[in-house]
Chains A and B, each alone.
Chain A
């Protein structure tokens, strides 16, 4: 019945939807439908053009209110593709859109989170963090500018999703997994370096045997291996995190407690 007048979305309509999504993203985040409301809100003006009929519009919106969560870059790709499907097939595409979203949001979030939330902030954060400690804001400024550029990349991803649609995403298919693993390789080598450089713990306790003084840190631990204590502490925390009872917050409190007690007895030094 919607054959008579098929509305084409203009480039401006698409850009508008992309901007709305990449602003609202997690700003209506809730535990039940997570990013769902933001998706519905972002696509609403574009969907209104596709569905002049109120009942169809309602059905389409309700569809997008369903549970949804993925990394925003990847979401731009997915939502661009879903919008293209709805423009082509109208409300008949409802179920296909829903299954496209639910089947892709997980795997794409795997790549997206690794790149956007793990690798990028870890590398930028450690470089700019050390620069800041030396009083140099350059790292922070570069990071800030890169994030602005990155925001426009997200808008571009929406267009890519819209024009190349499901074809592109499904052809990524099996390579997606390899790509995620490759990103993890970079990530894990960086994490290995972080253990040695960023985690700081030392026990400069001095023992005295007769006339011989022995500093526990420089005389024993450093002789065995550099960054021995950070490595051991990392191992301990990694195992604690495997236990459901040890939430990150509890572990932070534990670390603070150990530090306070250790400093009180002079085992650690600030």
Chain B
């Protein structure tokens, strides 16, 4: 029994450590809760609990994107440690949110620290190039992914060691309105991602489409894919008509030699 637990512990730490390397590079499982959570579920041997928790964090994360190198709460790590703690202690989704959310928020600080340390690495690599130590530069680069893996690997190690006991204790001491409150917060938190998306995108210019999407979903109960398809229809029309305008403007300014523009429309 404890042998299986040990193997699970090790796999959880490896998964957490690799997650950041993947998120930074290959982007195959990245830090997306449902993908990371499915793998965690396989490791922990409890798919039902894992998927519920992964789905909850996935919806919380919608719209949260680390654009232009900004830092965002790590819902992927929250999913891994949340599922681990929930399955190991048998306490379910409430403890997953209570543990996962704070860990995901603290992980932001570790990311900032990792990037500052990597700054020194970047300078070392440049010094190597200056000294014509090209091979050394190539080897030293591997410290980058190694350091970044600690960003999520270290918290996972701490959780694996102390998590289950601490969680049992916390759930024993903390009144139920706190865990209930955190569940309520879980329902509201997707608003942060949505707000960030709205800040990133041209809201003022395309306000109409937000309203269309809202009405379709709220009043007519159209699913996300259906709304996306209607959005795509509008986008296609917009693309065609705007491209035509650009082309017409080009024709009026320089009349001859516009043959090359023709192959784009079809």
Contact = CB atoms under 8 A, between A and B. Distances in A.
Interface of A: 22-34, 36-38, 40-41, 44, 48, 54, 57-58, 61-62, 65, 69, 72, 109, 113-114, 117-118, 121-137, 139-141, 143-144, 147-148, 150-151, 171, 174-175, 178-179, 181-201, 225-227, 230-231, 233-234, 237-238, 240-242, 248-249, 251-253, 255-256, 258-264, 268-270
Given A113-B67, A186-B231, A199-B190, A260 B214 contact: no
Interface residues of B, number: 113
Contacts of A270: 180-181, 183-184
B166 interface: no
Given A27-B148, A201-B187, A263-B180, 10 more contacts: A139-B34, A140-B37, A174-B246, A178-B239, A181-B242, A187-B201, A188-B213, A189-B227, A191-B213, A255-B189
Given A125-B62, A174-B246, A264-B177, A185 B206 contact: yes
Residue among B68, B148, B199, B213 with most chain A CB within 10 A: B213
A256 B64 CA distance: 17
B43 interface: no
B119 A40 contact: no
A129 B34 contact: yes
A99 B148 CA distance: 30
B24 to A, nearest CB: 4
A132 B192 CA distance: 21
A15 B17 CA distance: 27
A190 B231 contact: yes
Given A23-B25, A118-B197, A126 B184 contact: no
Contact of B243 (A29, A127, A131, A175): A175
Contact of A238 (B28, B34, B189, B198): B198
Given A192-B217, A195-B214, A113 B59 contact: no
Nearest to A147: B28
B14 interface: no
B185 A255 contact: yes
B181 A189 contact: no
Interface in B44-88: 47-48, 51-52, 54-56, 58-59, 61-69, 72-73
A186 B206 CA distance: 10
A122 B62 contact: yes
B197 A186 contact: no
A198 B236 CA distance: 26
Contacts of B21: 27
A269 B181 CA distance: 8
Contacts of B255: none
A25 B218 CA distance: 40
B266 to A, nearest CB: 14
A33 B125 CA distance: 12
26 contacts: A29-B148, A38-B144, A62-B130, A124-B32, A126-B62, A131-B34, A131-B55, A133-B51, A133-B56, A151-B26, A181-B205, A185-B206, A185-B209, A186-B228, A187-B231, A189-B230, A192-B215, A195-B210, A197-B224, A201-B188, A234-B195, A234-B198, A238-B195, A252-B105, A256-B185, A263-B177
A268 B184 contact: yes
Contact of B211 (A190, A192, A255): A192
B212 interface: yes
Contacts of A109: 68
Interface string B123-134: 001100110101
B171 interface: no
B10 interface: no
A249 to B, nearest CB: 6
Given A193-B214, A237-B195, A238-B195, A37 B239 contact: no
A221 to B, nearest CB: 12
Residue among A118, A191, A230, A240 with most chain B CB within 10 A: A191
B224 A127 contact: yes
A115 B107 CA distance: 26
B233 to A, nearest CB: 9
A237 B215 CA distance: 20
B38 interface: yes
Interface in B1-54: 21, 23-30, 32-35, 37-38, 41, 47-48, 51-52, 54
B210 A200 contact: no
Residue among A127, A141, A188, A261 with most chain B CB within 10 A: A188
A29 B51 CA distance: 32
B195 A251 contact: yes
Contacts of A231: 214
Contacts of B192: 237, 248, 251-252, 255
